[in-house]
Chains A and B, each alone.
Chain A
Amino acid sequence: MTRFTTSLLLVLVAGASACSSDIEDENLPDNNPGGEETSGNEDTTYDHENDGKSPWEVLAEQQAAGPMRYQSRIHGCVKVRYETVGNILTSRGVGTNGQARNLFTTGQNSMGAPVYSARIRENLVPSTAGMSRLFDIFASASTEIIANFANVDACKVGGAAVPLFDNGGATCNAEAFTCLAGTTITAAHIDICNKTIAGAKNAAGNPDQALGQRLAVAVMLAAAHTCE
């Protein structure tokens, strides 16, 4: 091989590698022949899904769900309107003067309530600040809701109050939480609710059932009222 041919080959090789310079060398396996393994493994290949759905399954799912325009109507997730939050609190035993009510009345701005005087409509999209305030309200309201639940007419069955918690306060009652959430509570929800009660601990690290009940009410309300 002449010197010219050698140089030409080197230039071509350099040119070829320049064309693929967008690949980060540091992430590529060392493929020197005779050295390390040349076949790929978990650490040296791109991490991609091998166990995903087939395109036909995805297509079938999409066809069953309907076009996006239709889905947006039936599955849209606008935030719960400010006025509705107030109604929920009132109808579920939250008083007019407590901490939760105060958080609600002072939370108009952050919760995106309408300001008619400035011609600002209600914000329909949830914001981090708005949702934080909503969850904060539910956290504060949990004490009042637990205390007053027996008097909440909307949640009585046949005129009789349903307890929020069963088994000495250790588990959540599905009927009561269905009323609280305004939507059907499944066994899976109740399982999480129970685990929330069991998981709460006091400052000394011991199980704290009362704290757990408050947490359970707060988190169940938050999850149920993420979307209107």
Chain B
Amino acid sequence: MAKSPFTRRDEQRELSRRALIKWTLACGAGLGVSRSKVHEILEKHAGKGVAAAASTAAFCNVVQIDEGGGGQSNIVGQLVPYFGIAQAKNPAFSWAFGDGADQGKPFVGTPYPLWDYNGNPFGHLPAEMQVSAFPCGSNNTHNSNAATSTFGLGGKGTGAFAAEMQVTALSSIIPALAIGANPGPSAVPFASTGNVAGAVNLFNSVASRTGGLLERSNEADLYTAHYEILSSLNRVAKNPIQAGAYKTSREAAKFLGKNLAAQLTVTPAELAEYGATGGSNGIRRYAEALAFTVKAFQLGLTHNIHFSGMKNDPHGFWDQGTFQTEPAIFRRVIKTFMLKMAATNDPLTGEPLDRNLVMFWQGDTPKQARNRAGWGDGSAMNHNVVVAYSSGHIKAGWHGDHSAAGVVTSLDDAGNQVAYNGTVAAQKALACIAYAVAKRRARDIQSFAGNTKIDAQVNPLEL
């Protein structure tokens, strides 16, 4: 049926409206104007409808954490224990949860089994907001770069696909940022830095510092305006083939005169607040990255941060003194991040940032869950693990399990535990995460997830 002129007009208007929203918010971020102020301006000059549309985030913010060199074992060993392993409370198993004799209990109310314990960094959240964990993929011991080979669909990582979805609707200065991590192939270029200091430096141009060429707004404006004129002299700058590159470059020219380093730098006091001062290098790296993430999301500078977490190879961890202290520090870092996210409102939606977040961990090897003495490499049935906090979009709990007998299971289409199939389970896990990023809009993830069936593992879209 042909569309009516009114429908076509509305569609056209929606496009221009979306462009208006996108560019207004991007300009606001670039100029350091708060999102609420931008919404006020939009409401005044473009109407309530546009302002309301601008305040709705179509996709969640994404934090992807890669654990390499044996590091993924820290996640199941210190943060989210296998349910079957935890329930057994066997002192010979590789885990350390609870305090003293209190080794925790099943979390009440989660759709799939999950273990709760004292110090659980997600323990303050309701059952429906708890993490989801997936036995999936294959073990990749000591591989620091298994992101797309093990945890990718069609050679693309979930974080990279998330960035591609996000740029269609979310405005930001830097669409996606990789800190010491390799996001793999992506149509959206990730800004890449080696560490958090490097990430801060992205927003700390020499030109904008005191004494810099663009220190004063007059020069910054002059530079931006004349760059735009010069680029417009290129007759093919508006050609669709070049338009994208020029759009990015004009944003960069505008951004050159802004300096946000002071707001983004992670201070020693903040590290202390996260409890990371006495932690290992991995813990400090975590704390720095997460503290930076809160600030970057708060300022709307990016919506997608991918960083490298633990790189240790903790053989014999349970025989060392550090196992008494390190897990508690690690959990405090994560918990502090979650509490800060809860206490900080999303500049776009006005909701707490933790309600608009998908954070997931993937890595090389979960190590042997039943070998405390050596915490040996490899894993039962050669499985691997992905853990995700999804703001409640994915059903909470373990989507499969690792039993005390060493049997690993994954879920079938109906959500029943079946014999472990790493490939299928990985497809489902990654599709679930993409689904969460897309805020339950299954259609948005079809190009990534295909027809992977995840209905039993996710919460439905409420219309």
Contacts and interface: CB of A to CB of B under 8 A. Distances in A.
Question: A and B: partners?
Answer: yes
Interface of A: 20, 22-24, 26-27, 46, 65, 68, 71-72, 75-79, 99, 103, 106, 109-110, 112, 118, 120, 123, 125-136, 139-140, 142, 186, 188-189, 192, 195-196, 199-201, 203, 211, 214-215, 218-220, 222-223, 226-227
A71 to B, nearest CB: 6
A132 B230 contact: no
A109 B192 contact: yes
B88 interface: no
A198 to B, nearest CB: 10
Contacts of A215: 213, 219, 222-223, 226
Interface in B163-203: 173-175, 177, 182, 189-194, 198, 201-202
A211 B212 CA distance: 10
Contacts of A219: 223, 226-227, 230
A185 to B, nearest CB: 10
Given A23-B6, A110-B193, A110-B202, A139 B226 contact: no
Nearest to A196: B226
Contact of A188 (B182, B202, B233): B233
Given A22-B10, A130-B191, A200 B219 contact: yes
Contact of A75 (B7, B9, B236): B236
Contacts of A23: 6, 10
Interface in B216-238: 216, 218-219, 222-223, 226-227, 229-231, 233, 236
A45 to B, nearest CB: 10
B424 interface: no
Contacts of A203: 216
B29 to A, nearest CB: 11
Contacts of B236: 75
Contact of B241 (A76, A106, A109): A76
Interface residues of B, number: 57
A195 B226 contact: yes
Given A109-B194, A127-B174, 12 more contacts: A20-B6, A46-B13, A75-B241, A77-B245, A118-B145, A127-B248, A128-B175, A186-B233, A195-B226, A219-B227, A220-B230, A222-B249
Interface in B1-48: 4, 6-7, 9-10, 12-13, 47-48
A71 B241 contact: yes
A112 B191 CA distance: 8
Contact of A201 (B218, B231, B239): B218
A207 to B, nearest CB: 11
Contact of A125 (B48, B193, B245): B245
Contacts of B218: 199-201
A139 B224 CA distance: 12
A118 B182 contact: yes
Contact of A112 (B174, B192, B229, B231): B192
Given A22-B7, A127-B248, A223 B230 contact: yes
Nearest to A129: B191
B98 to A, nearest CB: 39
B251 interface: yes
A149 to B, nearest CB: 17
Contacts of A75: 236, 239, 241-242
Contact of A126 (B239, B240, B249): B249
Contacts of B223: 196, 215, 218-219
Q: Which of B198, B201, B252, B253 has the most CB of A within 10 A?
A: B252
Contacts of A196: 222-223, 226
Given A109-B192, A118-B182, A226 B47 contact: no
A226 B230 CA distance: 11
A188 B219 CA distance: 21
Given A24-B49, A120-B182, A223-B230, A136 B248 contact: no
Nearest to B245: A77
Given A120-B182, A128-B173, A77 B242 contact: yes
B159 to A, nearest CB: 15
B189 A127 contact: yes
16 contacts: A20-B6, A109-B193, A110-B201, A126-B245, A126-B249, A127-B174, A127-B248, A128-B173, A128-B248, A130-B252, A131-B251, A133-B202, A134-B252, A139-B214, A203-B216, A215-B222
A132 B173 CA distance: 11
A72 B241 contact: yes
A215 B230 CA distance: 13
Q: Which of A20, A136, A142 has the most CB of B within 10 A?
A: A136
A3 B137 CA distance: 70
A132 B252 CA distance: 5
Contact of A200 (B189, B205, B222, B256): B222
Contact of A130 (B189, B194, B222): B189
B189 A112 contact: yes
A68 B193 CA distance: 34
Nearest to A218: B213
A87 to B, nearest CB: 20
A27 B46 CA distance: 11
Contacts of A77: 241-242, 244-246
B32 to A, nearest CB: 15
A194 B49 CA distance: 44
Which are the 6 A-B pairs with shortest beta-carbon distances? A129-B191, A131-B252, A223-B230, A77-B245, A127-B189, A139-B207
A79 B198 CA distance: 21
A128 B6 CA distance: 38
A211 B194 CA distance: 33
B381 interface: no
Contact of B207 (A72, A110, A129, A135): A135
Contacts of A134: 252
A62 to B, nearest CB: 11
A40 to B, nearest CB: 13
Contacts of B192: 109-110, 112, 123, 129
A147 to B, nearest CB: 15
Nearest to B255: A132
A199 to B, nearest CB: 5
B292 to A, nearest CB: 14
